[in-house]
Amino acid sequence: MERNPESVEALFKCVTKDLGFSEGKPVAAFTLYNCLLHWKVFELQKTSIFDRYIILIGNAIEDQDNISSMAYWLSNTSALFFHLQRCLRVPERKLPTPTGFFGRMAQVLSLIIPI
């Protein structure tokens, strides 16, 4: 599916419905994530499609009396966050080796006493 206005509209019509779960995973989050990844939306500076989805979620959870709807959107948001976190992970920077006495002591203590 190529990214064009019709495809974006079709995606939003799809994910605004309760698509349920497949193997315990929310279908809407998985579908949205894969489309956004395929369209390379996360590589762009301005992600209007993703911003639009955030607004959609906000509107969906405004009805706080509908617990099943809130649970559905919470599970989709959580799953989408998990996928985004894996996709957009920034490589950890290795800290320079401390050279002073207190720096080395702090390093040793952090290995002995994890925070």
pLDDT tens figures, 88-114: 665 566 666 666 655 665 665 566 555
Confidence (pLDDT) at 22: 92
What lies within 8 Å, CB to CB, of 64 at 6+ separation is 70
Cα distance between residue 57 and residue 74, in whole Å: 9
**pTM of the predicted model over 0.85:** no
pLDDT tens figures, 24-39: 888 888 888 888 888 8
- Residue 64 above 80 pLDDT? no
Instruction: Estimate to the nearest angstrom the gap between the alpha carbon of 115 and the chain centroid.
Output: 26
Tokens 């959580």, residue located: 78
